[in-house]
Chains A and B, each alone.
Chain A
Amino acid sequence: MANILRVNMASKSVKVEDQKEEYQLFGGRNFIAKIMNDEVNPKCDPLGPENKLIISTGLLAGTTAPTSGRISVGGKSPLTGTVKEANAGGTAAQMLARLGLKAIIVEGMPEGNEWYILKVSADGAELLPGDKYAGMNNYELCSALQSDFGDKIGTISIGAAGERVYKNSTVQISDMSGRPSRAAARGGVGAIMGSKKLKAIVLEPAGKAEIEYADKEKFTGAVKAYIQGIKDNPLSGQALPALGTAVLVNGVNALGALPTRNFSSGNFEEAEKISGETLVTMQAERGGKSGHICQTGCPIGCSNIYNDENGNYLTSGFEFETIALVGSNCGISSLDTIAKIDRLCDDFGLDTMETGATIAVCMEAGKLSFGDEKGTLALIQEMIDGTDFGRVLGQGTAYVGKELGVNRIPVVKGQSIAGYDPRALKGTGVTYATSPMGADHTCGNSIGNPTVDPYKKEGQVELSTNLQVGMATFDTLGLCIFSGFCTEDPANVGHLLEMVAARFGGEWSVEKLFGLGVQSLIMEKSFNEKAGFTAEDNRLPGFMYSEPLPPTNNVFDLSDDELSQAIPF
């Protein structure tokens, strides 16, 4: 059974614990929820010694289950004050599994101003002095770590944004080329790591993951069938490999839900210029890549490599959400500028979505105008340079909006809304309002659901509830949610069930499988309640109830009562 590595930053001790029997069916998201409930005071200061940084693999980590290498990073969020789980692809989860670890729990805070790195190898783990890496941003840091520890290492790191405990800072995970381009982006998890003075975790390569299976042969058969299911699904088999998540730009724009100029329209007249279709054609000319995979064995490959106008690597893992929030939502229609900002954010360690939403709020306040690319880059530079206003910007959209006296602040529980305006996609709106994570599309996104009219409120609460349970289950299994599109076919749910049963043994039903997600949500809600959150916090921003969204002129019209019926456990 995989172990848990506990790192105490106050005593500088590192301890490998046998995983408790009761943790066997906790992984990724529900592991974070469990530890937060069992061990962390919900009223604690997120940047104080009582909070913990939890890094967990999912239940299927280390196996050949497709996309099972997602890594969950969490704790109490400095941005939202809620429990937080943010997950990313890259190599970390598979490497941890090979090192025999299920999770790393980082506790306490050191005295003094020294920085540390944690090195984990097959021989054990140790905290090492990290001052020489302090101040480095993620790309430089990764190169430095690779030259010190070899180019086969995996890294989990923070840039200077995390060091300065910016509330919109990320934890970056290295991809298969060793680049820190995959982000556990949301909720300021980078600041938790920074508050503990942990600059990076270095994972040394190890042998094969030793996984015990209840029935190895059955597992392999189920994996094969599930991969076929992924490939046969038009989204995971065709659209995502060919066009990446940026394919959503034109589709969400057609729906009238593409955030435009601080959520004042659902249509961006220049959507085609920043679309996945345009991106792919342009990158084919520049020698970039689509259909790129972020982890070994992914049969989808939604990722990309984005080259600049000279054909040199600029960024990778360049996603729809970044394009929506930094692009249309700021009135910016240059893919190159958005990609530049993506690179700066990955490097410095900022959530691209929170950053885009924050800048659009500055635009709304008149600090710069919508579409001002130079001004946007200058504001990001202020964050990087750590000027007074740059530090304010690092506190996130809600803080900046209040500071500048803006009325229309697109956040829920202090976290910015993602790339879908909830007035024209009401199921996702219910998720934004009620998810224990704050406004987070990955917690249950209703885009493309053929059964419920996105503009009507009927059926949205039930749809969002089902999606929230499904996503929490995938985040617990450690599977990429894009591998889940095929579960609309019950045969593939069957293969998923077979996989889990063949891995862990015992009787598994659909209820037990998705019960993992329900259990996560229950624990997360309970933590938030003890932290002081109430039903009153489960609301969208006021303007979304009263201000019709052009061009469809929808408002968000689910009542408080209706919202209270979402995730009713």
Chain B
Amino acid sequence: MDVTVRLYSVFRLKYEDYNSTTGIRLEIEVGSSIYDLLEKVEIEPKNVSIVRVNELIVKDFNLSLDNGDNVEIFPFYGGG
């Protein structure tokens, strides 16, 4: 199945041709969790502040993803 992954801040810097309109389309195995996805995009869970799936904040990274989900991954921020 496919999900769309959107990366923010320093997570995006790794991908030079990142397209902010489309994000990254990734094929993952059925039943994959957010943890599995993070592993796939090489982001350590401890560096993640927020994950949103279809615009809703998800606290439990064990959640299994569905085909077509839009997953947004944010690092920690510091105050401006």
Q: A residues touching B (Cβ–Cβ < 8 Å)? A: 234-236, 238-240, 242-243, 245, 247-248, 250-252, 254-256, 272, 276-278, 281, 319-321, 419, 428, 441-442, 445-448, 450, 481-482, 485, 551-552
Pick from A240, A251, A446: contact of B74, CB under 8 Å: A251
A-contacting 9-mer, from B29-37, B47-55, B62-70: B47-55
Decide if A251 touches B77 in the complex (CB within 8 Å): yes
Task: State A256–B9 Cα separation when bound (angstroms).
Answer: 17
B2 at the binding interface (Cβ < 8 Å): no
Decide if A254 touches B52 in the complex (CB within 8 Å): yes
What A residues does B8 contact at CB under 8 A? 250-251, 254, 277
- Residue of A255, A442, A481 contacting most chain B CB atoms (<10 Å): A255
**Given A239-B10, A255-B50, are A448 and B20 neighbors across the interface (CB < 8 Å)?**
no
- Nearest B-chain residue to A455, judged by Cβ: B57
- Nearest B-chain residue to A447, judged by Cβ: B79
What A residues does B74 contact at CB under 8 A? 250-251, 254
- Residue of A247, A278, A551 contacting most chain B CB atoms (<10 Å): A247
- Nearest A-chain residue to B12, judged by Cβ: A277
What B residues does A445 contact at CB under 8 A? 79-80
What B residues does A234 contact at CB under 8 A? 10, 47, 75-76
Question: What are the 9 A-B residue pairs with the smallest beta carbon separation, nearest first?
Answer: A445-B79, A245-B80, A320-B80, A235-B78, A251-B77, A448-B77, A448-B76, A447-B79, A250-B8
What B residues does A446 contact at CB under 8 A? 79
22 residue pairs A–B, Cβ–Cβ below 8 Å: A234-B10, A235-B76, A236-B78, A238-B13, A239-B10, A239-B77, A240-B78, A242-B10, A245-B80, A251-B49, A252-B77, A272-B20, A319-B80, A321-B80, A428-B79, A442-B79, A445-B79, A447-B79, A448-B76, A448-B79, A482-B78, A551-B55
Extra 9 A-B pairs, beta carbons < 8 Å, given A239-B75, A254-B57: A234-B47, A238-B13, A239-B10, A245-B80, A250-B9, A276-B9, A277-B12, A319-B80, A448-B78
Decide if B9 touches A239 in the complex (CB within 8 Å): yes
User: In angstroms, how far is the closest chain A Cβ from the Cβ of B6?
Assistant: 9
Name the interface residues of B9-55: CB closer than 8 Å to any CB of A. 9-10, 12-13, 20, 47, 49-50, 52, 55
Task: State A528–B9 Cα separation when bound (angstroms).
Answer: 40
**Given A238-B10, A448-B49, are A441 and B79 neighbors across the interface (CB < 8 Å)?**
yes
What A residues does B49 contact at CB under 8 A? 251, 448, 450
Task: State A445–B77 Cα separation when bound (angstroms).
Answer: 11
Decide if A447 touches B20 in the complex (CB within 8 Å): no
Task: State A545–B80 Cα separation when bound (angstroms).
Answer: 25
The total number of A-B Cβ pairs within 8 Å is 79
- Nearest B-chain residue to A256, judged by Cβ: B57
User: In angstroms, how far is the closest chain B Cβ from the Cβ of A259?
Assistant: 13
- Nearest A-chain residue to B55, judged by Cβ: A551
- Residue of B13, B52, B72, B80 contacting most chain A CB atoms (<10 Å): B80
What A residues does B77 contact at CB under 8 A? 235, 239, 247-248, 251-252, 447-448
User: In angstroms, how far is the closest chain B Cβ from the Cβ of A360?
Assistant: 19
What A residues does B78 contact at CB under 8 A? 235-236, 239-240, 447-448, 482, 485
What A residues does B10 contact at CB under 8 A? 234, 238-239, 242-243
What A residues does B52 contact at CB under 8 A? 254
Task: State A239–B77 Cα separation when bound (angstroms).
Answer: 8
What B residues does A243 contact at CB under 8 A? 9-10
What A residues does B20 contact at CB under 8 A? 272, 277-278, 281
Decide if B9 touches A277 in the complex (CB within 8 Å): yes
User: In angstroms, how far is the closest chain A Cβ from the Cβ of B7?
Assistant: 9
What B residues does A450 contact at CB under 8 A? 49, 76
User: In angstroms, how far is the closest chain B Cβ from the Cβ of A392?
Assistant: 29
User: In angstroms, how far is the closest chain B Cβ from the Cβ of A448?
Assistant: 4
Decide if A254 touches B76 in the complex (CB within 8 Å): no
What B residues does A319 contact at CB under 8 A? 80
Task: State A254–B74 Cα separation when bound (angstroms).
Answer: 8
Task: State A251–B10 Cα separation when bound (angstroms).
Answer: 11
What A residues does B12 contact at CB under 8 A? 277
- Nearest B-chain residue to A419, judged by Cβ: B80
User: In angstroms, how far is the closest chain B Cβ from the Cβ of A121?
Assistant: 35
**Given A239-B75, A254-B8, A254-B74, are A248 and B80 neighbors across the interface (CB < 8 Å)?**
yes
**Given A234-B47, A254-B50, A277-B20, are A247 and B76 neighbors across the interface (CB < 8 Å)?**
no
Task: State A252–B76 Cα separation when bound (angstroms).
Answer: 10
User: In angstroms, how far is the closest chain A Cβ from the Cβ of B61?
Assistant: 15
What B residues does A551 contact at CB under 8 A? 55
Decide if B9 touches A247 in the complex (CB within 8 Å): yes
- Nearest A-chain residue to B51, judged by Cβ: A254
User: In angstroms, how far is the closest chain B Cβ from the Cβ of A523?
Assistant: 24
What B residues does A236 contact at CB under 8 A? 78
Task: State A235–B79 Cα separation when bound (angstroms).
Answer: 10
What A residues does B72 contact at CB under 8 A? 254
**Given A251-B50, A255-B50, A272-B20, are A481 and B76 neighbors across the interface (CB < 8 Å)?**
no
User: In angstroms, how far is the closest chain B Cβ from the Cβ of A410?
Assistant: 18
User: In angstroms, how far is the closest chain A Cβ from the Cβ of B79?
Assistant: 3
- Nearest A-chain residue to B80, judged by Cβ: A245
Task: State A440–B79 Cα separation when bound (angstroms).
Answer: 12
What B residues does A255 contact at CB under 8 A? 50
Task: State A388–B42 Cα separation when bound (angstroms).
Answer: 58
User: In angstroms, how far is the closest chain A Cβ from the Cβ of B72?
Assistant: 6
- Nearest A-chain residue to B13, judged by Cβ: A242
- Residue of A238, A239, A428, A551 contacting most chain B CB atoms (<10 Å): A239
Task: State A236–B8 Cα separation when bound (angstroms).
Answer: 16
User: In angstroms, how far is the closest chain A Cβ from the Cβ of B24?
Assistant: 14
Task: State A428–B78 Cα separation when bound (angstroms).
Answer: 12
- Residue of B9, B12, B13, B79 contacting most chain A CB atoms (<10 Å): B79
